[in-house]
Amino acid sequence: MSDQNPCFIPFAKDVSGIDLPDRFTFPFYYTPHPLCLLASAQLQEVIVSMDWKHDFGVETPDSDTAIGKMFGVLVVQTNQGNLGFLAAFSGKVADENLHHPFVPPVFNMLDKDGFFKREEAVISELNNRIDHLLGAAEYINTTRRLAEAKRVSESELTQLRKEVKKRKLDRKLKRTEAAQTLSLPEIEVLEANLVKESLDDQFNYKRSAKKWRLEINELESKHALFVDSLNRLKEERKSRSGALQKELFDCYKFLNANGKEENVLDIFEVAHKRVPPTGAGECAAPKLLQYAYLNQLKPIAMAEFWWGASDKSEVRKQGQFYPACRGKCEPILNHMLQGLMVDPNPIFSKLAEEKEIEILFEDAHLLVINKPQNLLTIPGKEIEDSVLTRIGRKYPEASGPLVVHRLDMSTSGILLIAKTKEVHKALQQQFENRTVRKRYTALLDGELFKDNGTVDLPLRVDFHDRPRQLVCFEHGKPSTTYWELVGTEKHGTRVRFSPITGRTHQLRMHAAHHLGLSAPIVGDELYGKQGARLHLHADQITFVHPLSGHEMTIESQVPF
């Protein structure tokens, strides 16, 4: 380690023959520089040698205590021209965020004498008091009795109302019959009895209603005492938690290469007009850059890799490199990278601007096209070129919304295009009724041990790292895919997917997730490894022509 910079790690191997990059790494889409590969390999040896008192799940990925972590390396150069690297991990490990030789956090919220731990103890005590009240026998009993009283009273009073209504109809019938068979004096006697019966019914119903109202009011008063106490405690907890979070964010201040410092609240306010998510600033990348700037170390290149078991909801592979997360890190890193020459976003260099859209079928009502890889279906925030804009220019007279369904930018293959609103509505109805049959061919990075099967995993967006998806059995939308093995090839396993539902990244997640096929699609930079292209192609679609009523099957040649 350097005497001046205790977290500076010299390279164990000679790196004099490796050229430095011209620009710094674009952190959200990159191929690790050779120096980063060497630094990561060296760091992994350090990780293995350390006594962490933390179960990463490397050997036991299915352990209930296994928690994998994202690690990062930042290749840096000293003022004397010496090359080395810094290392960091996201969040904390073994309930600690200070582990030599890793860089320290931007702010040490775990300092036992700091304001965060003191206020955290107060909030923890509030949680205990809330839990104690919720678990109190008297509160539970009062809540149960109140619910039962409301249920029984409603049932009893409903039955009484039915009986009163029935007797009212009976009295009406008696009056009708009496008018035809009884004398006037007899009718007067009958009417007096019927009026008395009506008054008795009203009195009995009101008495029962009053009895239940008094009982329920008494129970509600007792219950309200508990609820008021709970609400006061919860309101205090909310107020303290909000104030603590704000005070905490005020302590997270980040430099950039120009020497300008901004706190995380201001960064997110400028970028997204919202409060930063919990944990913003605790990821590896901001820690690394902050330490480099504070210690006059020049950032050269950066990479992040996963170590240990994957979280059950997402796709993480041991030792594999991943981009920085966008939800927490993008606004911070956009600030921190100002003043550095950074690689351009490689996604722009992959755009299919020179590739023509192939028309597979066309008539006066619709088109079936073959979308090139790396062309958006509809325009994005930063990219205008898309199927929609191109088709719109080619068919300016078309009245329909044109695009009936979508494909990921990286996915190539068949798309349906409607020329009129009526055809668009009819085709969309077929998709909603799931009568459209789609087939995809993919090349998987892994081996399958069955010939076919069905993957059924609910998906939702990762709010902190869009557009990545997560498996979520609580809030995820149902998603089902039938698959069949085509064969094993030199570069992977060829399969055909027939999606039953059409969720975002459904096939990519169902292929990569360990509860799915556990074999990511070749070239999938989000859930697998980067490659020349995502090897996923929509090669067949079957639908009913809205005008002719004929079933049509259109196919497209797989380009890989």
How far is residue 481 CA from its own chain's centroid?
Answer: 20
Q: Which of 408, 465, 524, 539 is catalytic?
A: 408
Q: Cα separations (Å) of 534 from 167, 237, 525, 541?
A: 76, 48, 8, 20
- Length of the chain measured in residues: 560
Single-letter code of the amino acid located at 359: I
Number of neighbouring beta carbons within 10 Å of residue 183: 9
Cβ burial, residue 12 (10 Å; 0-12/13-18/19+) = exposed
Element (H, E) at 322: strand 321-322
Residue 285 · residue 250 · CB < 8 Å: no
pLDDT at 1: 46
Buried-state track 486-524, b at ≥16 Cβ within 10 A, e below 16: eeeeeebbbbbbbbbeebbbbbbbbbbbbebbebbbbbb
Buried-state track 343-365, b at ≥16 Cβ within 10 A, e below 16: beeebeebebeeeebeeeeeeeb
pLDDT at 63: 85
HEC profile of 397-408: CCCCCCECCCCC
Residues 6+ apart with CB under 8 A from 152: none
Residues 6+ apart with CB under 8 A from 354: none
Q: What angle do CA 125, 127, 129 make, to 5 degrees?
A: 70
Q: Cα separations (Å) of 292 from 107, 344, 374?
A: 15, 22, 36
Residues 6+ apart with CB under 8 A from 366: 416, 417, 418, 419, 423, 427, 545, 546
- Which residues partner with 439 through β-bridges? 540
Residue 396 · residue 515 · CB < 8 Å: no
Long-range contacts of 104-108 (CB under 8 A, 24+ apart): 104/7, 104/287, 104/291, 105/282, 105/287, 106/252, 106/253, 106/254, 106/281, 106/282, 106/286, 106/287, 106/290, 107/248, 107/251, 107/252, 107/253, 107/281
pLDDT at 353: 76
Residue 445 bears catalytic tag: no
Domains of the chain, residue spans = 9-107+252-347, 132-248, 350-555
Q: Which two tokens stand for residue 322?
A: 């991943």
Q: What is the pLDDT along the chain (560 residues), one digit of tens a residue?
A: 444 789 999 999 999 999 999 999 999 999 999 999 999 999 999 999 999 989 999 888 888 889 999 999 999 999 999 999 999 999 999 989 999 999 999 999 999 889 999 999 999 999 999 999 999 999 999 999 999 999 999 999 999 999 999 999 999 999 999 999 999 999 999 999 999 999 999 999 999 999 999 999 999 999 999 999 999 999 999 999 999 998 999 999 999 999 999 999 999 998 877 889 888 999 999 999 999 999 999 999 999 999 999 988 999 999 999 999 998 999 999 999 999 999 999 888 778 777 899 999 999 999 999 999 999 999 988 889 999 999 999 999 998 789 999 999 999 999 999 999 999 999 999 999 999 999 999 999 999 999 999 999 999 999 888 899 999 999 999 999 999 999 999 889 999 999 999 999 999 999 999 999 999 999 999 999 988 899 999 999 999 999 999 999 999 999 99
Widest distance between CA atoms in the chain: 124
How far is residue 256 CA from its own chain's centroid?
Answer: 29
The owner of tokens 């911070």 is 332
Q: Which two tokens stand for residue 416?
A: 């349906």
SS3 532: coil
The pTM of the full predicted model, rounded to 2 decimals, is 0.81
Q: Which two tokens stand for residue 517?
A: 């096929």
Residue 55 · residue 65 · CB < 8 Å: yes
Element (H, E) at 417: strand 412-418
350-555 topology per CATH: Pseudouridine synthase (3.30.2350)
